[in-house]
Structure 1
């Protein structure tokens, strides 16, 4: 049979059996009982003829290799870029690539990406925010077949793995810092505070609770952007513009404020530029504070007081959780598949830089006390 490719049909003729029997025997599929004699005949015939089994197409499960799907609400805020950096660095260490789905906070886009996941067949999924409520059940179903990690607001009840963030704690830290400096009338600028974006509201609530404890809740002016902003495709400067435009409004409506807080650093940068254009000195005339400790907050000319909550580490942890879940499925020591829910949380830290200080009235009191001390020392 030289020059002609040997087929399973040739082996079947030589062994005196059916082609189906050849296929089942050589593929070791003994779901049908074969005698030792039949198995021997088939194997000997295949060997004599030099027959080789055709390479099987890999099953979908076997093709699920080295890919993580990352779902992001936007990539215009450095916070999400930092998360992505953490995920990508850890994924690269483990030999994985990532496929980024930018939903732009659009429900239709989020739904489309969720439908694409089965065709991508990844090893795991990382949500860089809370899934939209209408897709929560779908995400939880996905987590039963494939590791899913959500980097979420701690107050959301999810039955999936999560790297958590207590947004109310961030708000309380911000408020406490300003109260300790003596600020009693402050503004808070935020993106739209909608039901879908609970994490924003939690940060604002935490801030308000701290002022409420000091009996000053009524002295906090909350200025949130219009809901339409979340419905538009976000521009590279969307959150910066929120900070800039709403600060201009606040200054006209509440000239008595001594500090303005941005829900995140990007909003705080807009606040600072609006104050600069209105000839306010920061922190001399107005203190400014952000949250996330993004790269630009550290620039000396900016020197923004902010909150560090270890964003890059969160991205790395999300990746690590997926790797742990994968390993627990591969390296079984029991016939029962383990079910575990990982929850990781970092303690946020206040980072004091050059944009917050005592309000003018407090500075006068402090200077007066200093003068009195100096005069007393002179008298002595």
Structure 2
């Protein structure tokens, strides 16, 4: 008998080649049911499937189960070093369950809803969003449409959707406490965009940490994005409007690098003239001059947890829209130093 072409291979062909029942092949090739099959039978079935070039018919499976075993992920800036490890975590969870991941870079938030509608038309089983703004109408749209969704690196202040975040307020407290502990008193803040939950929470964290220490906020400038260019503009604005601070807490690492740029252009040294802290511990910030003191986040775990929560939603195991908060840690490098006098 001739070997069927890969396009025409069915699970019946695999079953015949492996010498087992069709239902055994179906279980063996299903990530959720393969645990019911012995290791020896799994090996025989997988070898037969590979030899024949079998490819699952996703469309037929979707008609049977109502699921496509795909999820969508929306990120605001794929070039930002924060998001690749988050995506790695999502991919790890999805791969273990036999799911495929569609990733979309949403450069303009106005495009978010059309992108989600396109994903819904493609019958994705759920979405992970790293793009939500404060009071985002997209969240209500998702709920009304019945789409399973989880936020990552963004909190839903109204509790409409599950979310996985790092503790932004604690992160800023760690940075402020470090600076105060090394003798700094005039501490400023380059805040993140205030239409994004992380920008609001980090700003509140800096303000509360300073109040707890009995210190005023020396100065503040708001960035219009989490970018190096925005950090440089905000640093220039801060220096133009206020007396020079002793230290600046930056809302993220790219903003901190922009602050470096502006200070260097003005002939000011980090940390001798102004100490700088960042947030995220993105790759290579330990190699800039000077290496950046920053807050390290468990980005891969953020992604993995978000995907796990989404699959709980898809499989009907989630009881409520809960928020998981992961703990950050301070990484002290050479952009901060003890202040004397």
Q: Which position in structure 1 is the counterpart of 2:185? A: 184
Give 1:18-97 correspondences, 5 Å limit. Answer: 60=63, 62=65, 64-97=67-100
CA distance change for structure 1 residues 172 and 154 in 2, over 3 Å: closer, same or farther?
farther
Q: Which position in structure 1 is the counterpart of 2:309? A: 321
Superposition deviation, residue 160 in structure 1: 2.7
Report the RMSD for the aligned CA atoms in angstroms: 2.7
CA distance change for structure 1 residues 175 and 255 in 2, over 3 Å: closer, same or farther?
same
Gaps of 5+ in 2: 1-58
**Could you list the per-position Cα deviations for residues 49-76 of structure 1 after superposition, in whole angstroms to 9, with x for gaps in the alignment?**
xxxxxxx966656463231101222223
CA distance change for structure 1 residues 325 and 284 in 2, over 3 Å: closer, same or farther?
same
Matched residue of 1:164: which SS?
strand
Q: Which position in structure 2 is the counterpart of 1:239? A: 227
CA distance change for structure 1 residues 339 and 121 in 2, over 3 Å: closer, same or farther?
same
Matched residue of 1:149: which SS?
strand
Kindly indicate whether the alpha-carbon contact (under 8 Å) linking 1:153 and 1:166 is maintained by their aligned counterparts in 2.
no
Q: Which has the larger radius of gyration?
A: 1
Kindly indicate whether the alpha-carbon contact (under 8 Å) linking 1:304 and 1:353 is maintained by their aligned counterparts in 2.
yes
Superposition deviation, residue 204 in structure 1: 0.7
**Could you list the per-position Cα deviations for residues 117-140 of structure 1 after superposition, in whole angstroms to 9, with x for gaps in the alignment?**
321111221011435522222222
Kindly indicate whether the alpha-carbon contact (under 8 Å) linking 1:307 and 1:351 is maintained by their aligned counterparts in 2.
yes
The one of 197, 219, 222 equivalent to 1:221 is: 219
Matched residue of 1:298: which SS?
coil
CA distance change for structure 1 residues 339 and 276 in 2, over 3 Å: closer, same or farther?
same
Kindly indicate whether the alpha-carbon contact (under 8 Å) linking 2:153 and 2:302 is maintained by their aligned counterparts in 1.
no
Q: Which position in structure 2 is the counterpart of 1:299? A: 287
Matched residue of 2:214: which SS?
coil
CA distance change for structure 1 residues 130 and 192 in 2, over 3 Å: closer, same or farther?
closer
CA distance change for structure 1 residues 150 and 61 in 2, over 3 Å: closer, same or farther?
farther
Matched residue of 2:301: which SS?
helix
CA distance change for structure 1 residues 306 and 57 in 2, over 3 Å: closer, same or farther?
closer
Gaps of 5+ in 1: 1-55, 231-237, 330-337, 365-380
Q: Which position in structure 2 is the counterpart of 1:345? A: 325
Name the CA distance, whole Å, in 1 between partners of 2:89 and 2:109: 24
Superposition deviation, residue 189 in structure 1: 1.4
Residues 1:168 and 2:173 aligned together: no
TM-score, structure 2 length as denominator?
0.73
Q: Which position in structure 1 is the counterpart of 2:250? A: 262
Name the CA distance, whole Å, in 1 between partners of 2:245 and 2:62: 64
Name the CA distance, whole Å, in 2 between partners of 1:342 and 1:198: 16
Q: Which position in structure 2 is the counterpart of 1:203? A: 202
The one of 306, 326, 335 equivalent to 1:355 is: 335
Number of residue-to-residue matches in the alignment: 282
Name the CA distance, whole Å, in 2 between partners of 1:64 and 1:340: 22
CA distance change for structure 1 residues 154 and 249 in 2, over 3 Å: closer, same or farther?
closer
Name the CA distance, whole Å, in 2 between partners of 1:179 and 1:61: 61
The one of 250, 264, 279 equivalent to 2:267 is: 279
Matched residue of 1:295: which SS?
coil
